[in-house]
Amino acid sequence: MYKQIIIPILFASLVFTSCKEEVKQRNINVNYPETTKKPVIDTIFGTTVTDNYRWLEDDKSEETETWVKAENEVTFDYLSKIPYREQLKNRLTELWNYEKVGRPFIEGDYTYFYKNDGLQNQYVVYRKKDNTEPEVFLDPNTFSDDATTSLGSLSFSENGKTAAYSISEGGSDWRKIIVLDAQSKTVKEDTLVDVKFSGISWYKNEGFYYSSYDKPKGSELSAKTDQHKLYYHKLGTSQKEDKVIFGGIPSEKHRYVGGYLTDDNRYLIITASVSTSGNKLYIKDLSKENSPLITILDDVKSDSYVIDNRGSKLYLVTNLNAPNQKIVTVDAANPTKENWKDFIPETENVLSPSTGAGYFFAEYMVDAVSKVLQYDFDGNLIREVKLPGVGSANGFGGKTDATELYFSFTNYSTPGSLYKLNPKDGSYISYWKPSIAFNADDYESKQVFYNSKDGTKIPMIITHKKGIELNGKNPTILYGYGGFNVSLTPSFRITNAVWMEQGGVYAVPNLRGGGEYGKKWHDAGTQLKKQNVFDDFIAAAEYLIENNYTSSNYLAISGGSNGGLLVGATMTQRPDLMKVALPAVGVLDMLRYHTFTAGAGWAYDYGTADDSKEMFIYLKGYSPVHNVKEGVQYPATLVTTGDHDDRVVPAHSFKFAAELQDKQSGNNPTLIRIETNAGHGAGTPVSKTIEQYSDIFGFTLYNMGYNQLPNPPKSKIKS
């Protein structure tokens, strides 16, 4: 069973590439646009704070639009003069051009799967019946002329005859839901609009649950949204008739609300949260007319959800008094926590379970690497599923009556492959492997443990071509995130492959604030402990330098979203440590982040400047926008963002770039690349992604001192 909970976390997985040859850098003169200062002075807990660029928060103003165009002109003029930019684009295009397939799933009479032929901007949904040839079910590449409209959720009614899917236009978090007759692939009714942070959870064949906010006044890209509501849409009726199920009255006001059904359609499960961590939990028995909504948990001190049921017996996943998560059982008639009984107890490793074919599959992270145990519904351990290698496994979920299950496996040097599992005996066979011109055997990954500033041991996986010389001159990308309970586990990316082809090193530390070691690890990098995350990242850089993987002149740091904050804080605290900084779609103004869209929901990780004087001073102490200092030489910096990002509004990046351009000392460029008609990252067309990375790679290499590639690819694509 899959839980339909959509809580938006700040995650943008951006990976970059580099090469290995020391040459003299060419100088490209940069004449930055003049960014007008219009001081706005706030007094917070008796301290005055001057914001010179508040006007850039107005995404609807002509002045902001003019500034964006001027900045992009300067940035793209700079990038166009990098001699190997086109070579990088061609190589990325070549390597990207291989077939990619998603795990199959059965709905009604059909088996569905996602596939990309290679360079298609969006994955296509195919289906097949029995042994017939697959046919296209949905092709998001046809949704808009420029392929910037992407497919979000796709969900089917119980009998598989009706489908509902959501779309995002221009990368926005605001979605539309379209209902199809799955047999004929024709639209059944009017499109639902103004849907945000929502799954689509069907009740039998009659209708579905979804979540959204009232449309805000002013800019829908930046205006605050904080009262989420769960709706029920009955097929054949207009959206205006949709009933509010939860969240419509003051006592039910929450920032995030989700609803999903158990597989037997008996129970509606409702989650309610004020932040991205912790939720209340409710249940309603739909088999009884006018049944009451029963509270399972009435506080937000844990992350808990119902994963499955057998009749009235509920199976819940929780980290309540179990930081690494466990599974408990309880009867739906008396579901409160004092009645819970351990089913799969907590262990020293973090649990991420799924169910399928009448079994539980307990995936554990052991130092960020997957281990999978199979249990029956009586809690008996059946077997360990021996994985194809050391890396990350995902999947195993499916319907109760499934006879086959699928899982994927990958690591930093192994492209993702699919396997078909026989759940009865634990055997599996290769179902699909990519045909890609990249030999994983030429590369190696090594996990190391290093000490952070306070002595905490932090794991890091370092990947590179076999046999490289550790001479301190290997261009290295240090990628990090460190927040929101997100775990960075080994996975293959085409961009990493291009990097390593050129002899580059790619290093990923598992920083505090993430979820690799459970809730305690997460909490150790939140609020007044957030500096731990930056210290962990700085210590990772120092480890790489001390062990001769690289040196400051050959080190770039990168991260997106919360990882963009990580880069911004690290480069302002230790500008001497790296040559290049690549903050992407970052949270960079820590005093005002909570005033935009759903930003206040990130307060569990950050705290807000309104909480207390102590919290305000702490945030101001590391907020990247507020810690750019006059006369400091910062690393060469390429800030990246999208003009339609309504998760982390682009004003964060605008203001940070303006501060850097105003105060930078020395010749290192500080540029901002603003992608138009793009959002936080999800659904970005492949063509745009390739262009973005070729620009980022080119900027990185050039500012490390290269004006030619060390291993020029023999591209079949003409420049």
Q: Report residue 5 as tokens.
A: 């909970």
Those residues whose C-beta lies under 8 Å from the C-beta of residue 385, and which sit 6 or more positions away, are: 361, 372, 373, 374, 393, 396, 421, 426, 428
Label each residue of 381-430 as H, E or C: EEEEECCCCCCEEEECCCCCCCCCEEEEEEECCEEEEEEEECCCCCCEEE
Q: How far apart are CA 231 and CA 242, in angstroms?
A: 6
Those residues whose C-beta lies under 8 Å from the C-beta of residue 191, and which sit 6 or more positions away, are: 176, 177, 178
Q: How far apart are CA 621 and CA 47, in angstroms?
A: 13
CB contact burial 201-212 (16+ within 10 A = b; e otherwise):
bbbeeebbbbbb
Q: Report residue 677 as tokens.
A: 């008609």
Cα 538 to chain centroid distance, Å, stands at 22
Look at the block and give the residue holding tokens 């990038």: 79
Look at the block and give the residue holding tokens 């319907």: 399
In contact, 208 and 230? CB cutoff 8 Å: no
Those residues whose C-beta lies under 8 Å from the C-beta of residue 161, and which sit 6 or more positions away, are: 108, 181, 182, 183, 205
CB atoms inside a 10 Å sphere around CB 641: 30
- Residue 38 half-sphere exposure toward CB, CA atoms < 13 A: 10
CB atoms inside a 10 Å sphere around CB 476: 27
Q: How far apart are CA 623 and CA 633, in angstroms?
A: 18
Nearest in space to 477 (alpha carbons), one of 567, 350, 387 = 567
Q: How far apart are CA 28 and CA 398, in angstroms?
A: 55
Nearest in space to 57 (alpha carbons), one of 668, 592, 620, 676 = 592
Q: How far apart are CA 82 and CA 702, in angstroms?
A: 7
Q: How big is the CA angle at 527 (ends 525 and 528), to the nearest 5 degrees?
A: 90
Choose, from 561, 623, 653, 694, the residue flagged as catalytic. 561
Torsion angle of C-alpha atoms 71, 477, 458, 411, degrees rounded to 10: 110
> Which residues is 103 bridged to in the sheet?
none
> Which residues is 372 bridged to in the sheet?
363, 385
680 classed as catalytic: yes
Choose, from 233, 464, 644, 680, the residue flagged as catalytic. 680
In contact, 196 and 174? CB cutoff 8 Å: yes
- Residue 70 half-sphere exposure toward CB, CA atoms < 13 A: 15
233 classed as catalytic: no
Q: How far apart are CA 392 and CA 370, in angstroms?
A: 5
| Measured CA distances, 127 to 105, 183, 260, 263 (Å) | 9, 11, 25, 22
Phi, psi torsion values for 240, nearest 5 degrees: -60, -25
- Residue 56 half-sphere exposure toward CB, CA atoms < 13 A: 26
3-state helix, strand, coil in the chain (%, to 5): 20, 30, 45
Q: Report residue 669 as tokens.
A: 């460029």
Q: Is 403 exposed, middle or buried (0-12, 13-18, 19+ CB in 10 A)?
A: exposed
Residues belonging to the active site:
561, 680
